[in-house]
Chain A
Protein backbone atom coordinates (compact mmCIF):
# COMPACT_ATOMS: atom_id res chain seq x y z
CA UNK A 1 0.00 0.00 0.00
CA UNK A 2 2.80 2.36 1.00
CA UNK A 3 4.66 1.39 -2.14
CA UNK A 4 1.61 2.27 -4.29
CA UNK A 5 1.26 5.58 -2.45
CA UNK A 6 4.90 6.43 -3.05
CA UNK A 7 4.56 5.55 -6.72
CA UNK A 8 1.49 7.78 -7.04
CA UNK A 9 3.30 10.60 -5.28
CA UNK A 10 6.26 10.16 -7.55
CA UNK A 11 4.05 10.22 -10.61
CA UNK A 12 2.24 13.36 -9.50
CA UNK A 13 5.59 15.05 -9.03
CA UNK A 14 6.49 14.06 -12.55
CA UNK A 15 5.73 16.94 -14.87
CA UNK A 16 4.93 14.76 -17.86
CA UNK A 17 1.83 15.60 -19.97
CA UNK A 18 -0.23 12.69 -18.79
CA UNK A 19 0.69 13.46 -15.19
CA UNK A 20 -0.53 17.00 -15.66
CA UNK A 21 -3.84 15.86 -17.18
CA UNK A 22 -4.49 13.37 -14.39
CA UNK A 23 -3.57 15.88 -11.72
CA UNK A 24 -6.00 18.41 -13.26
CA UNK A 25 -8.72 15.76 -13.41
CA UNK A 26 -8.17 14.88 -9.75
CA UNK A 27 -8.21 18.54 -8.70
CA UNK A 28 -11.41 19.11 -10.69
CA UNK A 29 -13.14 16.09 -9.14
CA UNK A 30 -12.07 17.32 -5.71
CA UNK A 31 -13.49 20.81 -6.34
CA UNK A 32 -16.74 19.38 -7.76
CA UNK A 33 -17.09 17.08 -4.78
CA UNK A 34 -16.39 19.99 -2.41
CA UNK A 35 -19.37 21.96 -3.70
CA UNK A 36 -21.74 19.20 -4.80
CA UNK A 37 -21.13 16.48 -2.18
CA UNK A 38 -24.46 17.11 -0.47
CA UNK A 39 -26.33 17.15 -3.75
CA UNK A 40 -24.69 13.88 -4.82
CA UNK A 41 -25.64 12.36 -1.46
CA UNK A 42 -29.21 13.65 -1.83
CA UNK A 43 -29.46 12.15 -5.32
CA UNK A 44 -28.14 8.84 -4.06
CA UNK A 45 -30.69 8.79 -1.20
CA UNK A 46 -33.51 9.80 -3.56
CA UNK A 47 -32.60 6.91 -5.78
CA UNK A 48 -32.93 4.48 -2.87
CA UNK A 49 -36.27 6.01 -1.85
CA UNK A 50 -37.39 5.73 -5.48
CA UNK A 51 -36.56 2.01 -5.53
CA UNK A 52 -38.53 1.44 -2.34
CA UNK A 53 -41.44 3.51 -3.64
CA UNK A 54 -41.65 1.34 -6.74
CA UNK A 55 -41.66 -1.78 -4.55
CA UNK A 56 -44.34 -0.35 -2.24
CA UNK A 57 -46.51 0.65 -5.20
CA UNK A 58 -46.44 -2.90 -6.51
CA UNK A 59 -47.42 -4.28 -3.10
CA UNK A 60 -50.16 -1.66 -2.69
CA UNK A 61 -51.59 -2.46 -6.14
CA UNK A 62 -51.46 -6.16 -5.38
CA UNK A 63 -53.28 -5.54 -2.09
CA UNK A 64 -55.99 -3.65 -3.93
CA UNK A 65 -56.30 -6.39 -6.56
CA UNK A 66 -56.58 -9.13 -3.91
CA UNK A 67 -59.18 -7.09 -2.00
CA UNK A 68 -61.35 -6.56 -5.09
CA UNK A 69 -61.05 -10.22 -6.10
CA UNK A 70 -61.92 -11.48 -2.62
CA UNK A 71 -64.93 -9.15 -2.31
CA UNK A 72 -66.18 -10.46 -5.67
CA UNK A 73 -65.49 -14.08 -4.74
CA UNK A 74 -66.91 -14.08 -1.21
CA UNK A 75 -69.52 -11.32 -1.31
CA UNK A 76 -70.86 -11.87 -4.82
CA UNK A 77 -71.89 -8.24 -5.33
CA UNK A 78 -74.08 -7.27 -8.27
CA UNK A 79 -71.74 -4.61 -9.62
CA UNK A 80 -67.99 -4.03 -9.71
CA UNK A 81 -66.74 -3.32 -6.16
CA UNK A 82 -63.51 -1.59 -7.35
CA UNK A 83 -64.76 1.93 -6.69
CA UNK A 84 -65.99 0.92 -3.20
CA UNK A 85 -62.62 -0.66 -2.43
CA UNK A 86 -60.84 2.52 -3.62
CA UNK A 87 -63.09 4.63 -1.41
CA UNK A 88 -62.39 2.34 1.56
CA UNK A 89 -58.64 2.61 0.95
CA UNK A 90 -58.83 6.39 1.30
CA UNK A 91 -60.68 6.31 4.63
CA UNK A 92 -59.20 8.30 7.54
CA UNK A 93 -59.81 9.06 11.21
CA UNK A 94 -59.26 12.47 12.76
CA UNK A 95 -58.06 12.00 16.35
CA UNK A 96 -59.70 14.15 19.03
CA UNK A 97 -58.03 17.35 20.18
CA UNK A 98 -55.37 16.72 22.83
CA UNK A 99 -54.84 20.31 24.06
CA UNK A 100 -57.16 19.52 26.95
CA UNK A 101 -56.48 15.81 27.47
CA UNK A 102 -59.15 15.20 30.13
CA UNK A 103 -61.71 12.78 28.74
CA UNK A 104 -59.77 12.11 25.54
CA UNK A 105 -59.99 8.32 26.01
CA UNK A 106 -63.79 8.46 25.95
CA UNK A 107 -63.76 10.60 22.82
CA UNK A 108 -61.25 8.32 21.13
CA UNK A 109 -63.27 5.23 22.10
CA UNK A 110 -66.40 6.75 20.63
CA UNK A 111 -64.62 7.61 17.38
CA UNK A 112 -63.21 4.09 17.12
CA UNK A 113 -66.67 2.59 17.67
CA UNK A 114 -68.09 4.75 14.89
CA UNK A 115 -65.17 3.77 12.64
CA UNK A 116 -65.70 0.04 13.31
CA UNK A 117 -69.43 0.28 12.69
CA UNK A 118 -68.86 2.28 9.50
CA UNK A 119 -66.30 -0.22 8.20
CA UNK A 120 -68.57 -3.15 8.98
CA UNK A 121 -71.54 -1.49 7.27
CA UNK A 122 -69.41 -0.63 4.21
CA UNK A 123 -68.12 -4.19 3.91
CA UNK A 124 -71.63 -5.62 4.32
CA UNK A 125 -72.85 -3.37 1.53
CA UNK A 126 -69.89 -4.38 -0.66
CA UNK A 127 -70.27 -8.11 0.01
CA UNK A 128 -73.96 -8.90 0.59
CA UNK A 129 -73.52 -12.69 0.41
CA UNK A 130 -70.67 -12.88 2.97
CA UNK A 131 -71.21 -14.53 6.38
CA UNK A 132 -70.36 -12.70 9.64
CA UNK A 133 -66.92 -14.32 9.80
CA UNK A 134 -66.22 -13.52 6.17
CA UNK A 135 -67.30 -9.91 6.70
CA UNK A 136 -64.79 -9.63 9.58
CA UNK A 137 -62.02 -11.17 7.47
CA UNK A 138 -62.84 -8.89 4.53
CA UNK A 139 -62.78 -5.89 6.85
CA UNK A 140 -59.31 -6.90 8.06
CA UNK A 141 -58.15 -7.47 4.47
CA UNK A 142 -59.37 -4.03 3.41
CA UNK A 143 -57.74 -2.45 6.46
CA UNK A 144 -54.41 -4.04 5.44
CA UNK A 145 -54.86 -2.60 1.93
CA UNK A 146 -55.71 0.78 3.46
CA UNK A 147 -52.51 0.68 5.54
CA UNK A 148 -50.43 -0.19 2.45
CA UNK A 149 -52.03 2.71 0.59
CA UNK A 150 -51.12 5.13 3.39
CA UNK A 151 -47.51 3.89 3.46
CA UNK A 152 -47.27 4.34 -0.30
CA UNK A 153 -48.71 7.84 -0.25
CA UNK A 154 -46.48 9.03 2.61
CA UNK A 155 -43.29 7.70 0.98
CA UNK A 156 -44.37 9.22 -2.35
CA UNK A 157 -45.02 12.56 -0.64
CA UNK A 158 -41.49 12.75 0.80
CA UNK A 159 -39.95 11.47 -2.44
CA UNK A 160 -41.68 14.06 -4.64
CA UNK A 161 -41.13 16.85 -2.13
CA UNK A 162 -37.46 15.92 -1.84
CA UNK A 163 -37.09 15.77 -5.61
CA UNK A 164 -38.82 19.13 -6.00
CA UNK A 165 -36.75 20.96 -3.39
CA UNK A 166 -33.58 18.83 -3.46
CA UNK A 167 -33.45 19.56 0.27
CA UNK A 168 -31.31 16.90 1.91
CA UNK A 169 -33.13 17.22 5.25
CA UNK A 170 -36.52 16.42 3.69
CA UNK A 171 -35.02 13.43 1.89
CA UNK A 172 -33.17 12.26 5.00
CA UNK A 173 -36.39 12.16 7.04
CA UNK A 174 -37.79 9.34 4.92
CA UNK A 175 -34.44 7.76 4.04
CA UNK A 176 -33.46 7.22 7.68
CA UNK A 177 -36.61 5.30 8.59
CA UNK A 178 -36.89 3.44 5.30
CA UNK A 179 -35.61 0.04 6.57
CA UNK A 180 -38.19 0.03 9.39
CA UNK A 181 -40.98 1.11 7.06
CA UNK A 182 -40.06 -1.61 4.58
CA UNK A 183 -40.35 -4.23 7.34
CA UNK A 184 -43.79 -2.94 8.28
CA UNK A 185 -44.90 -2.96 4.65
CA UNK A 186 -43.65 -6.51 4.18
CA UNK A 187 -45.62 -7.50 7.28
CA UNK A 188 -48.80 -5.99 5.84
CA UNK A 189 -48.21 -7.68 2.51
CA UNK A 190 -48.04 -11.05 4.31
CA UNK A 191 -51.34 -10.18 6.01
CA UNK A 192 -53.15 -10.19 2.66
CA UNK A 193 -52.90 -13.97 2.34
CA UNK A 194 -53.90 -14.52 5.97
CA UNK A 195 -56.99 -12.30 5.92
CA UNK A 196 -58.05 -13.42 2.45
CA UNK A 197 -58.20 -17.05 3.60
CA UNK A 198 -59.01 -16.59 7.29
CA UNK A 199 -55.74 -18.06 8.58
CA UNK A 200 -54.59 -17.54 12.19
CA UNK A 201 -51.95 -14.81 12.42
CA UNK A 202 -49.06 -14.14 14.80
CA UNK A 203 -51.07 -11.58 16.75
CA UNK A 204 -53.65 -14.31 17.42
CA UNK A 205 -51.46 -16.19 19.93
CA UNK A 206 -53.36 -14.67 22.89
CA UNK A 207 -56.69 -15.69 21.40
CA UNK A 208 -55.35 -19.18 20.62
CA UNK A 209 -54.10 -19.66 24.18
CA UNK A 210 -57.54 -18.65 25.52
CA UNK A 211 -59.24 -20.93 22.97
CA UNK A 212 -57.08 -23.86 24.09
CA UNK A 213 -58.14 -23.23 27.69
CA UNK A 214 -61.87 -22.73 27.06
CA UNK A 215 -62.48 -25.28 24.30
CA UNK A 216 -65.14 -27.80 25.29
CA UNK A 217 -66.75 -25.50 27.87
CA UNK A 218 -69.93 -23.53 27.41
CA UNK A 219 -69.32 -19.92 26.42
CA UNK A 220 -71.44 -16.79 26.38
CA UNK A 221 -71.02 -13.35 24.81
CA UNK A 222 -69.97 -10.91 27.52
CA UNK A 223 -69.29 -7.79 25.46
CA UNK A 224 -69.24 -6.75 21.81
CA UNK A 225 -67.50 -9.57 19.91
CA UNK A 226 -66.14 -11.01 23.20
CA UNK A 227 -66.86 -14.47 24.59
CA UNK A 228 -66.15 -15.95 28.01
CA UNK A 229 -66.34 -19.43 29.53
CA UNK A 230 -66.01 -20.76 33.08
CA UNK A 231 -63.33 -23.41 33.31
CA UNK A 232 -62.64 -25.34 36.53
CA UNK A 233 -58.95 -25.84 37.25
CA UNK A 234 -57.29 -27.37 40.29
CA UNK A 235 -59.93 -26.15 42.76
CA UNK A 236 -60.12 -22.69 41.19
CA UNK A 237 -62.61 -21.22 38.74
CA UNK A 238 -61.07 -19.70 35.67
CA UNK A 239 -63.05 -17.26 33.57
CA UNK A 240 -61.43 -17.33 30.17
CA UNK A 241 -62.26 -14.58 27.71
CA UNK A 242 -61.25 -13.87 24.11
CA UNK A 243 -62.57 -12.18 20.98
CA UNK A 244 -65.30 -14.14 19.24
CA UNK A 245 -63.91 -16.19 16.37
CA UNK A 246 -63.26 -17.46 13.82
CA UNK A 247 -63.75 -14.16 11.98
CA UNK A 248 -60.97 -11.59 12.24
CA UNK A 249 -61.69 -9.44 15.28
CA UNK A 250 -59.96 -8.16 18.39
CA UNK A 251 -63.25 -7.52 20.20
CA UNK A 252 -63.57 -5.19 23.16
CA UNK A 253 -61.45 -6.81 25.90
CA UNK A 254 -61.72 -3.70 28.06
CA UNK A 255 -65.49 -3.96 28.20
CA UNK A 256 -65.32 -7.72 28.78
CA UNK A 257 -62.88 -7.42 31.71
CA UNK A 258 -64.86 -4.57 33.25
CA UNK A 259 -68.14 -6.46 32.96
CA UNK A 260 -66.75 -9.72 34.37
CA UNK A 261 -65.09 -7.98 37.33
CA UNK A 262 -68.30 -6.10 38.17
CA UNK A 263 -70.48 -9.18 37.71
CA UNK A 264 -68.63 -11.31 40.25
CA UNK A 265 -69.26 -10.29 43.84
CA UNK A 266 -68.66 -11.72 47.32
CA UNK A 267 -66.82 -15.02 47.42
CA UNK A 268 -67.02 -15.28 43.63
CA UNK A 269 -65.02 -12.06 43.25
CA UNK A 270 -62.11 -12.28 40.84
CA UNK A 271 -58.81 -12.54 42.76
CA UNK A 272 -56.38 -12.08 39.88
CA UNK A 273 -56.36 -11.13 36.22
CA UNK A 274 -53.90 -12.73 33.81
CA UNK A 275 -53.56 -11.30 30.32
CA UNK A 276 -51.87 -13.08 27.40
CA UNK A 277 -50.81 -11.26 24.28
CA UNK A 278 -48.26 -11.11 21.51
CA UNK A 279 -45.33 -8.74 22.01
CA UNK A 280 -42.63 -7.44 19.72
CA UNK A 281 -39.29 -9.16 20.20
CA UNK A 282 -35.93 -7.47 20.18
CA UNK A 283 -33.36 -8.61 17.64
CA UNK A 284 -31.60 -11.67 19.02
CA UNK A 285 -34.56 -12.93 21.04
CA UNK A 286 -36.06 -16.16 19.72
CA UNK A 287 -39.52 -16.13 18.13
CA UNK A 288 -42.06 -17.72 20.44
CA UNK A 289 -40.17 -17.05 23.67
CA UNK A 290 -42.44 -16.37 26.63
CA UNK A 291 -41.99 -13.72 29.30
CA UNK A 292 -43.98 -12.99 32.44
CA UNK A 293 -44.61 -9.56 33.89
CA UNK A 294 -47.05 -7.17 35.50
CA UNK A 295 -49.57 -4.87 33.82
CA UNK A 296 -52.06 -4.83 31.00
CA UNK A 297 -50.68 -6.85 28.10
CA UNK A 298 -52.58 -5.23 25.28
CA UNK A 299 -51.58 -3.09 22.33
CA UNK A 300 -53.61 -0.78 20.19
CA UNK A 301 -54.37 2.88 20.58
CA UNK A 302 -54.85 2.64 24.36
CA UNK A 303 -58.61 2.76 24.89
CA UNK A 304 -59.00 -0.89 25.90
CA UNK A 305 -55.84 -0.78 28.01
CA UNK A 306 -57.23 2.21 29.89
CA UNK A 307 -60.52 0.42 30.56
CA UNK A 308 -58.73 -2.66 31.91
CA UNK A 309 -56.40 -0.63 34.14
CA UNK A 310 -59.36 1.36 35.49
CA UNK A 311 -61.37 -1.80 36.17
CA UNK A 312 -58.61 -3.61 38.09
CA UNK A 313 -57.66 -0.44 39.98
CA UNK A 314 -61.26 0.03 41.16
CA UNK A 315 -61.30 -3.51 42.58
CA UNK A 316 -57.66 -3.59 43.71
CA UNK A 317 -57.00 -6.80 41.78
CA UNK A 318 -53.46 -7.79 40.76
CA UNK A 319 -52.88 -7.75 37.01
CA UNK A 320 -50.36 -10.20 35.56
CA UNK A 321 -49.13 -10.37 31.99
CA UNK A 322 -47.73 -13.13 29.81
CA UNK A 323 -46.34 -12.25 26.40
CA UNK A 324 -45.32 -14.41 23.47
CA UNK A 325 -42.57 -12.67 21.58
CA UNK A 326 -42.46 -12.31 17.83
CA UNK A 327 -40.92 -10.24 15.10
CA UNK A 328 -42.90 -7.45 13.46
CA UNK A 329 -42.96 -9.50 10.24
CA UNK A 330 -44.86 -12.30 12.07
CA UNK A 331 -47.59 -10.16 13.65
CA UNK A 332 -50.10 -10.14 10.82
CA UNK A 333 -48.60 -12.95 8.73
CA UNK A 334 -49.90 -16.56 8.86
CA UNK A 335 -48.84 -17.97 12.24
CA UNK A 336 -45.42 -19.61 12.21
CA UNK A 337 -44.86 -22.99 13.84
CA UNK A 338 -42.76 -21.55 16.67
CA UNK A 339 -45.66 -19.36 17.76
CA UNK A 340 -48.15 -22.20 17.45
CA UNK A 341 -46.09 -24.43 19.73
CA UNK A 342 -45.44 -21.51 22.10
CA UNK A 343 -49.19 -21.36 22.78
CA UNK A 344 -49.07 -24.78 24.48
CA UNK A 345 -46.16 -23.59 26.62
CA UNK A 346 -48.09 -20.41 27.47
CA UNK A 347 -51.04 -22.50 28.72
CA UNK A 348 -48.66 -24.35 31.06
CA UNK A 349 -47.15 -21.04 32.24
CA UNK A 350 -50.64 -19.69 33.03
CA UNK A 351 -51.49 -22.83 35.02
CA UNK A 352 -48.26 -22.55 37.02
CA UNK A 353 -48.90 -18.87 37.63
CA UNK A 354 -52.43 -19.61 38.87
CA UNK A 355 -51.13 -22.25 41.29
CA UNK A 356 -48.42 -19.92 42.59
CA UNK A 357 -50.45 -16.74 42.92
CA UNK A 358 -53.93 -17.93 43.93
CA UNK A 359 -55.47 -20.33 46.40
CA UNK A 360 -58.06 -23.06 46.01
CA UNK A 361 -61.56 -21.65 45.71
CA UNK A 362 -60.36 -18.44 44.05
CA UNK A 363 -61.69 -17.10 40.79
CA UNK A 364 -59.16 -16.01 38.18
CA UNK A 365 -59.81 -14.10 34.97
CA UNK A 366 -57.66 -15.11 31.98
CA UNK A 367 -57.89 -12.76 28.98
CA UNK A 368 -56.46 -13.84 25.63
CA UNK A 369 -55.79 -10.67 23.67
CA UNK A 370 -55.30 -10.38 19.93
CA UNK A 371 -56.92 -10.89 16.55
CA UNK A 372 -58.83 -14.18 16.59
CA UNK A 373 -58.90 -14.69 12.81
CA UNK A 374 -59.01 -18.42 12.10
CA UNK A 375 -59.47 -19.34 15.77
CA UNK A 376 -62.87 -20.33 17.17
CA UNK A 377 -63.56 -21.10 20.83
Chain B
Protein backbone atom coordinates (compact mmCIF):
# COMPACT_ATOMS: atom_id res chain seq x y z
CA UNK B 1 0.00 0.00 0.00
CA UNK B 2 1.38 3.31 -1.01
CA UNK B 3 1.68 6.05 1.53
CA UNK B 4 -1.34 8.28 1.61
CA UNK B 5 0.69 11.44 1.10
CA UNK B 6 2.33 10.03 -2.02
CA UNK B 7 -0.94 8.76 -3.42
CA UNK B 8 -2.49 12.20 -3.16
CA UNK B 9 0.44 14.18 -4.44
CA UNK B 10 -1.05 15.07 -7.86
CA UNK B 11 -4.12 16.63 -6.28
CA UNK B 12 -2.28 18.78 -3.75
CA UNK B 13 -3.01 22.47 -4.19
CA UNK B 14 -0.10 24.55 -5.42
CA UNK B 15 0.35 28.10 -4.30
CA UNK B 16 2.67 29.86 -6.71
CA UNK B 17 2.42 32.94 -8.88
CA UNK B 18 1.25 31.94 -12.34
CA UNK B 19 2.64 33.75 -15.43
CA UNK B 20 -0.77 35.44 -15.93
CA UNK B 21 -0.66 36.89 -12.41
CA UNK B 22 2.93 37.97 -12.95
CA UNK B 23 2.00 39.70 -16.24
CA UNK B 24 -0.91 41.47 -14.52
CA UNK B 25 1.43 42.61 -11.74
CA UNK B 26 3.95 43.96 -14.27
CA UNK B 27 1.27 45.83 -16.26
CA UNK B 28 -0.27 47.33 -13.11
CA UNK B 29 3.22 48.25 -11.94
CA UNK B 30 4.07 50.07 -15.18
CA UNK B 31 0.74 51.96 -15.16
CA UNK B 32 1.14 52.87 -11.50
CA UNK B 33 4.66 54.11 -12.07
CA UNK B 34 3.54 56.17 -15.04
CA UNK B 35 0.66 57.56 -13.06
CA UNK B 36 2.91 58.57 -10.18
CA UNK B 37 5.40 60.20 -12.53
CA UNK B 38 2.59 62.14 -14.23
CA UNK B 39 1.27 63.12 -10.81
CA UNK B 40 4.58 64.67 -9.83
CA UNK B 41 4.86 66.35 -13.23
CA UNK B 42 1.36 67.79 -12.94
CA UNK B 43 2.12 69.12 -9.44
CA UNK B 44 4.61 71.62 -10.84
CA UNK B 45 2.71 72.32 -14.04
CA UNK B 46 -0.21 74.55 -15.00
CA UNK B 47 -2.73 71.95 -13.77
CA UNK B 48 -1.73 71.04 -10.20
CA UNK B 49 -5.33 69.77 -9.50
CA UNK B 50 -4.59 66.76 -11.72
CA UNK B 51 -1.69 65.63 -9.54
CA UNK B 52 -3.93 64.32 -6.70
CA UNK B 53 -5.80 62.12 -9.12
CA UNK B 54 -2.67 60.60 -10.67
CA UNK B 55 -1.00 60.05 -7.29
CA UNK B 56 -4.09 58.28 -5.92
CA UNK B 57 -4.16 55.93 -8.92
CA UNK B 58 -0.40 55.23 -8.70
CA UNK B 59 -0.45 54.60 -4.96
CA UNK B 60 -3.51 52.35 -5.22
CA UNK B 61 -1.76 50.32 -7.94
CA UNK B 62 1.33 49.78 -5.79
CA UNK B 63 -0.82 49.00 -2.76
CA UNK B 64 -2.62 46.30 -4.80
CA UNK B 65 0.71 44.79 -5.90
CA UNK B 66 2.02 44.86 -2.35
CA UNK B 67 -1.11 43.19 -1.01
CA UNK B 68 -0.86 40.50 -3.72
CA UNK B 69 2.74 39.68 -2.82
CA UNK B 70 2.05 39.85 0.90
CA UNK B 71 -0.84 37.35 0.59
CA UNK B 72 1.17 34.97 -1.57
CA UNK B 73 4.16 35.05 0.75
CA UNK B 74 2.03 34.44 3.84
CA UNK B 75 0.31 31.41 2.38
CA UNK B 76 3.33 29.81 0.75
CA UNK B 77 5.90 30.20 3.49
CA UNK B 78 3.84 29.71 6.64
CA UNK B 79 4.47 26.17 7.89
CA UNK B 80 1.57 24.81 9.87
CA UNK B 81 2.64 23.06 13.04
CA UNK B 82 0.74 20.95 15.51
CA UNK B 83 0.73 22.78 18.87
CA UNK B 84 2.93 21.37 21.59
CA UNK B 85 2.14 23.04 24.90
CA UNK B 86 3.91 22.89 28.27
CA UNK B 87 2.02 20.82 30.83
CA UNK B 88 2.59 20.74 34.60
CA UNK B 89 2.11 17.85 36.98
CA UNK B 90 1.15 18.73 40.56
CA UNK B 91 2.32 16.34 43.26
CA UNK B 92 1.19 16.32 46.88
CA UNK B 93 2.37 14.27 49.82
CA UNK B 94 -0.65 12.94 51.76
CA UNK B 95 1.48 12.62 54.92
CA UNK B 96 3.25 15.97 55.23
CA UNK B 97 1.20 17.95 52.65
CA UNK B 98 4.28 18.98 50.71
CA UNK B 99 3.27 20.30 47.30
CA UNK B 100 5.51 20.23 44.26
CA UNK B 101 5.05 21.13 40.61
CA UNK B 102 7.16 19.60 37.83
CA UNK B 103 7.03 19.12 34.07
CA UNK B 104 4.64 16.44 32.82
CA UNK B 105 6.24 13.09 32.00
CA UNK B 106 4.64 10.42 29.86
CA UNK B 107 2.97 7.91 32.17
CA UNK B 108 1.76 10.57 34.64
CA UNK B 109 -1.93 10.51 35.52
CA UNK B 110 -4.10 12.03 38.21
CA UNK B 111 -4.09 9.92 41.42
CA UNK B 112 -0.95 8.02 40.53
CA UNK B 113 1.42 7.22 43.40
CA UNK B 114 4.54 8.75 41.95
CA UNK B 115 7.82 9.46 43.67
CA UNK B 116 9.08 9.40 47.29
CA UNK B 117 8.48 12.57 49.29
CA UNK B 118 11.61 14.62 49.82
CA UNK B 119 10.47 15.78 53.26
CA UNK B 120 9.04 12.60 54.85
CA UNK B 121 8.89 8.86 54.22
CA UNK B 122 5.64 9.06 52.28
CA UNK B 123 4.95 8.72 48.57
CA UNK B 124 3.83 11.72 46.61
CA UNK B 125 0.51 11.52 44.79
CA UNK B 126 -0.24 13.26 41.51
CA UNK B 127 -3.26 15.43 42.27
CA UNK B 128 -3.43 17.48 39.11
CA UNK B 129 -2.19 17.83 35.56
CA UNK B 130 -2.86 20.95 33.57
CA UNK B 131 -1.48 23.13 30.84
CA UNK B 132 0.98 25.77 32.02
CA UNK B 133 -0.49 29.25 31.86
CA UNK B 134 1.15 31.22 29.07
CA UNK B 135 2.85 34.46 29.95
CA UNK B 136 1.00 37.36 28.43
CA UNK B 137 2.88 38.57 25.38
CA UNK B 138 3.67 42.24 25.17
CA UNK B 139 2.24 44.14 22.23
CA UNK B 140 5.71 44.77 20.81
CA UNK B 141 6.81 41.11 20.75
Query: Nearest-CB distance from A256 to chain B (Å)?
Result: 19
Report whether A50 and B15 are in contact in the complex, using a CB–CB cutoff of 8 Å: yes
B84 touches A159 (CB 8 A): no
**Distance, CA A50 to CA B75, complexed state (A):** 9
Contact B128 A199 (CB under 8 A): no
1/0 contact string of B40-68 vs chain A (CB within 8 Å):
00000000011011001100000000000
Contact B82 A63 (CB under 8 A): yes
A334 and B53 CA atoms in complex are apart in Å by 56
Within 8 A of A (CB), among B105-141: 106-112, 128-133
Are B109 and A375 in contact (CB-based, < 8 A)? Answer: yes
Q: Are B38 and A18 in contact (CB under 8 A)?
A: yes
Q: What total of chain B residues lie within 8 Å of the partner, measured CB to CB?
A: 39
Q: What is the bound-complex CA distance between A189 and B38, given in angstroms?
A: 53
Residue B3 lies at the interface, judged by CB distance under 8 Å to chain A: yes
Q: Cβ of A193 and Cβ of B83 under 8 Å apart?
A: yes
Partner of A199, one of B15, B53, B129: B129
* Known contacts A64-B4, A159-B13, A189-B82; A336 and B111 CB within 8 A of each other: no
Residues of chain B lying within 8 A (CB to CB) of residue A62: 80-82
Contact of B109 among A64, A82, A376 (CB under 8 A): A376
Contact B80 A211 (CB under 8 A): no
Given A58-B80, A193-B84, decide whether A200 and B53 contact each other with a Cβ distance below 8 A: no
Cα distance A64–B56 when bound, in Å? 51
Contacts of B129 in A (CB 8 A): 199-200, 334-335, 340, 374
Q: Which residues of A contact B106 (CB under 8 A)?
A: 197-198
| Complex interface residues of chain A between 30 and 62 (CB less than 8 A to chain B) | 50-51, 53-55, 57-59, 61-62
Using Cβ atoms and an 8 Å threshold, which residues of chain B touch A160?
A: 11
Contact partner of A376 (CB less than 8 A), chosen from B85, B104, B111, B132, is B111
Complex contact B4–A334 (CB within 8 A): no
Residues of A within 8 A of B78 (CB): 55
**Closest CB-CB distance, A274 to chain B, in whole Å?**
21
Complex interface: chain B residues within 8 A of A156 (CB): 11
* CB nearest to A12 among chain B residues: B53
Please name the residue on chain A nearest to B3 by beta carbon. Answer: A82
B111 to chain A, nearest CB (A): 4
B49 touches A334 (CB 8 A): no
Interface, chain B (partner A; CB < 8 A):
1, 3-5, 11-13, 15, 38, 49-50, 52-53, 56-57, 75, 78-85, 87, 104, 106-112, 128-133
A residues lining the B interface (CB < 8 Å): 4, 7-8, 10-11, 18, 22, 50-51, 53-55, 57-59, 61-64, 66, 82-83, 86-87, 89, 133, 149, 156, 159-160, 186, 189-190, 192-193, 197-200, 208, 211, 215, 245-246, 333-337, 339-340, 374-377
